[in-house]
Structure 1
Amino acid sequence: MSASYCFEGRVVLVTGASSGIGAETAIHFAAASCDGLALIGRDKDRLEEVSIKCQTQGLAIEKILIISEDLASDGAPGRIMDAVIQKFGKLNILINNAGQGGMTSLADPELSQKFDHLYSLNVRATLLLSQLAVPHLIETKGNIVTVSSICAKAAVPNMLVYNLTKAALDYFTESAARCLATKQVRVNSVNPGSIATPLHTRAGREEKVVRELARRIHPLGRIGESEEVSRAILFLASDHASFTTGETLSVDGGRFLLCP
């Protein structure tokens, strides 16, 4: 699956690993011979399923750590990082994938509550987990890859708060990259367009409607697949991207080429 990449001797932490892009990314790292893989998510049963798929790619069960946590809950980033270091003794790669979408506008009567929830998960949790990872990444000269969105580059109607949180993640990537470059720690992000993941249905949109809309708004004429994003993540996390930092890489079927 990931024969062109090799992550031997490297420990990888993937948040939001129970489904979609996170699950696919974890499976790809397993296939690329990583030395340790921490799977973070809220649904333990689904994490177990992803773990089994990672094992079918050749990763031994003792090299997999499952942590069932809500990243937005108090103290979760600290508990996660402590568990990873206790298990593996180091961290080489942090994949900040956990996040949530949702429809919001300035007319939304629940705007304040939705902002607090999405900001806490999409931005604050990413920031705090990355902060805790930095000392370990400096030791290993590792890197961070964050899953942002094309919404950070071109605002999507009726997704006000989601747009804001993803724009914040892009600025986090650029700012952290500048801060950590002298420490030889790279920081990059991927910016997917519409991808076929459970995120859409959880946000209240029908899959058929999402796919039809994706066909019309992406120049390539279709929705993207999780595997297409995970390949970009592995590239940025690998030595193939050793001279790349501060990049926000669009994986969007050309969507950003169109006028918002």
Structure 2
Amino acid sequence: MSLAGKVVIVTGASSGIGATTAEAFAQHGAKVAIVGRNETNLKTTEAACKAANSKAEILPIIADVTVDAERVINETVQKFGQLDVLVNNAGILANGNILDIGVEQFDSILNTNLRAAFLLTKFAAPHLVKTQGNIVNVSSVAGLRSFPNTSSYCTSKAALDQFTRCIALDLAPKQVRVNSVNPGVVVTDIHKRSGMSAEEYAKYLEHHKETHALGRVGSTKEVADAIIFFASDTASFITGATLPIDGGKHAMCPR
């Protein structure tokens, strides 16, 4: 799975799946533009990438993908001269019943989880055509299955999966592949950032051991490994796919 010399953008790279994915690309010899809003955390990711590969070329871009999509693409191409892989990972989560939530929540989640991916894809596509590169979208099992009290999030991820398939068909004649990974519950800070306390999150993780067929939650590395696979030539005949990385959660039907 040679990625040496490839130029990769990873959004949401300041923590969680994005940070681990950026580190994995660096370890495989790629040049990585790491995108995030938190400068301190982004520096931590940069250090981890350099620790994984002391020769890695890393470009930190402090940006909000909802407003800075074009700048992210332009700065990356200006620095490295090309673009081979776009990983649309940045995302947010919020909970609430339809009786309680406001339109602000829906708009905010769709803006980050879907509209930003559209903009980044739009601006990246001409560069990916030149390199016959590929896109990996980070979706969720929530895009494949329905869950209560997460309608905005589930809707955004289901839309992202359909976007993946449609853009895969749009770009297939140009030999640009587009795929999606759909993690189950993975240990990151997204739930804490959505308002969970440390105690609530610990209970959440313990409970969700039972909701995954393999009897445990996942790690960011397990998702990053799948992203690396999709981004590499090993997956050269795969496009328009949505791959659950969820310990079998998508296949379960509680009774």
Above 0.5 in TM-score? yes
- Residue identity opposite 2:114 in structure 1: V
- Give how far 1:59 is off: 4.4
Contact 1:219 1:253 in 2 (8 A): yes
Large movers: runs of 4+ above 3 Å: none
Query: Is 1:92 equivalent to 2:88 in the alignment?
Result: no
Same amino acid, percent of matched pairs: 45
Report the counterpart of residue 59 of structure 2 in structure 1: 65
- Secondary structure of residue in 2 paired with 1:217: coil
CA-atom RMSD in angstroms: 1.1
Task: Name the amino acid aligned to 1:13.
Answer: I
Select the residue among 136, 150, 157 that pairs with 1:166: 157
Q: Which residue of 2 aligns with 1:14?
A: 10
Question: Equivalent residue for 1:218?
Answer: 212
* Match status 1:246 vs 2:237: no
Q: Once the two structures are superposed, what CA deviation does each residue of 1:222-246 show, in whole Å capped at 9, x if it has no partner?
A: 1100000000000011111000000
Q: TM-score, normalised by structure 1?
A: 0.94
2:168 to 169, 174, 177: 177
| One-letter amino acid matched to 2:207 | L
How far residue 111 of structure 1 moved from its aligned partner, in angstroms, is: 2.1
Change (3 A) 1:47 1:187: same
SS at match of 1:158: coil
C-alpha distance in structure 2 between counterparts of 1:151 and 1:173, whole Å:
15
- Contact 1:30–1:59 under 8 Å retained in 2: no
Instruction: In structure 2, give the amino acid aligned to 1:172.
Output: F
Question: Structure 2 CA distance, aligned partners of 1:101 and 1:259?
Answer: 24
CA distance in 1, matches of 2:65, 2:29: 27
Cα deviation per residue 1:34-64 (whole Å; 9 max; x = unaligned)?
1x21000000111111111111111436x21
Cα distance in structure 1, aligned partners of 2:48 and 2:232: 21
The alpha-carbon deviation at position 91 of structure 1 amounts to 0.2
Of 135-144 and 78-87, deviating more is: 78-87
> Does 2:251 align with 1:257?
yes
Aligned to 2:185: 194
Give, in angstroms, the shift of residue 157 of structure 1: 1.1
Partner of 2:110: 119
* Structure 1 SS opposite 2:119: helix
What TM-score, normalized by structure 2, do the two folds share?
Answer: 0.96
Alignment: residue pair count: 251
Q: CA deviation at 1:215?
A: 0.8
Mean alpha-carbon deviation: is it higher for 42-51 or for 204-213? 204-213
Query: What CA distance in whole angstroms lies between the structure 1 residues aligned with 2:8 and 2:204?
Result: 32
Most deviating of 204-213 and 221-230: 204-213
Long gaps (5+) in structure 1: none
